[in-house]
């Protein structure tokens, strides 16, 4: 698979096509950036896809879960990937979108109570330029954001809160909530038994996150 793709498309061809669209300088910045994405669900699968297609050089992708039929309506995975680890499934998707993006996956569950998980998380964050929180659980979101801001106050964190339901997509916004914390979402729409997730709205939020990351890579710090 890899040989065929490289035969069809060289690294130089691929990056020069991207540079034509994004500009040489921006493409260099994207190529040299390393982004950590925690969670590969409705947000993370779309974010990783966007970053890889944009030509980000290295992505650290973290998740413990496997692709389930209940994921297909909003996550990027395919029927043929049901049962596969999300870390492996996203690798397949990225390989076909940008074979030159180095996707390093971590099949692990983030837990603030687990010393080993925190050590591995710290290692991943320390190698990344920007951290992206893309979990679904509210407490895990808070735990990762707190861990990152406490331990790595110089790192920018792009997180998400509030994108469930069929409310207006125009309510999804990117805000700079703290010096190094950017939040995407409407801040209120919570997933629960009365309110599910729609691919359209979750992917709007994922695009907000991915776009803020791209802006940060370009040196722009405002949402």
What is the binding site for other proteins (CB under 8 A)? 39, 41-44, 134-139, 141-142, 145-146, 149-150, 153, 159-164, 177-179, 181, 183, 187-192, 197, 202
Left if phi > 0, otherwise alpha if psi is -120 to 50, otherwise beta: which for 34?
A: beta
Nearest CB to other proteins, comparing residues 15 and 38: 38
Strand partners, 59: 35, 103
Query: What's the min distance (Å) between Cβ of 41 and other proteins?
Result: 5
Rounded Cα gap, residues 121 and 125, in angstroms:
6
**Look-up of token digits 């950017």:** 182
Query: What's the min distance (Å) between Cβ of 10 and other proteins?
Result: 36
Instruction: Collect all residues with Cβ–Cβ distance below 8 Å to 117 and sequence separation of at least 6.
Output: 108, 109, 110, 111
Query: What's the min distance (Å) between Cβ of 110 and other proteins?
Result: 13
Length of the chain in terms of residues written: 223
Rounded Cα gap, residues 69 and 82, in angstroms:
6
Nearest CB to other proteins, comparing residues 6 and 166: 166
Query: What's the min distance (Å) between Cβ of 137 and other proteins?
Result: 6
Nearest CB to other proteins, comparing residues 29 and 164: 164
Nearest CB to other proteins, comparing residues 155 and 215: 155
Nearest CB to other proteins, comparing residues 15 and 110: 110
Query: What's the min distance (Å) between Cβ of 46 and other proteins?
Result: 10
HSE-up (13 A, CA, CB side) for residue 126: 7
């Amino acid at each position: 698979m890899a040989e065929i793709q490289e035969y069809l498309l060289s690294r130089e061809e691929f990056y020069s096509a991207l540079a034509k669209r994004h500009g040489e300088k921006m493409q260099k910045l994207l190529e040299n950036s390393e982004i950590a994405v925690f969670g590969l669900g409705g947000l993370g699968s779309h974010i990783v896809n966007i970053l890889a297609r944009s030509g980000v050089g290295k992505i650290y992708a973290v998740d413990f879960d496997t692709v389930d039929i209940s994921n297909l309506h909003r996550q990027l995975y395919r029927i043929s990937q049901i049962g596969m680890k999300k870390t492996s499934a996203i690798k397949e998707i990225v390989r076909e979108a940008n074979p030159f993006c180095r996707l390093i996956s971590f099949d692990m569950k983030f837990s603030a109570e687990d010393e080993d998980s925190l050590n591995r998380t710290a290692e991943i964050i320390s190698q990344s330029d920007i951290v992206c929180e893309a979990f679904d659980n509210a407490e895990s979101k808070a735990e990762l954001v707190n861990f990152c801001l406490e331990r790595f106050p110089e790192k920018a964190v792009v997180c998400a809160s509030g994108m469930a339901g069929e409310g207006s997509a125009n309510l999804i916004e990117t805000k700079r909530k703290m010096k190094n914390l950017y939040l995407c979402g409407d801040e209120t729409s919570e997933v629960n038994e009365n309110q599910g997730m729609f691919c359209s709205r979750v992917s709007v939020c994922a695009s907000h996150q991915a776009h803020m990351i791209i802006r940060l890579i370009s040196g722009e710090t405002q949402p």
